[in-house]
Amino acid sequence: MKDNYDFISTTNMLIVKDGKGLFIKRSEKLVNFPGWLMLPGGKQEVDETPQQAAIRETWEETGLKVLNPKLRVVATHNHFYRRSIKGSQIISRSQTPH
């Protein structure tokens, strides 16, 4: 991995009820993955387990409070974020390193 990339773990939760899955449609205006249908989820905080992150992200994105979700699948899905400095802020963009 190149030095100008940060490795970020992400988690997602698949919620199925009555044979239907819950997906979120991302805004067409976003830089990363515009208009994509995605599972609720996002970046895992340093002090969180994948389960805790999935519960928190699902709540933040949908307002649904999930209690005791059952782990069904473990899959590796990581993003590499390119670091760039703009003024005194570090800006990250999701992409695959070359």
CATH of the domain at 29: 3.90.79.10
pLDDT at 63: 96
Separation of CA 20 from chain center: 21
Report pLDDT digits (tens) over 43-86. 889 899 888 999 999 999 999 999 988 877 766 555 666 665 55
For residue 34, give both structure tokens: 């515009």
Domain ranges, residue 31 = 5-95
Exposure of 59 in the CB half-sphere (CA atoms within 13 A): 10
Q: Domain count of the chain? A: 1
pTM above 0.75, yes or no: no
Alpha-carbon distance 80 to 24, whole Å? Answer: 22
pLDDT at 77: 58
- Residue 93's beta-bridge partner residues? 82
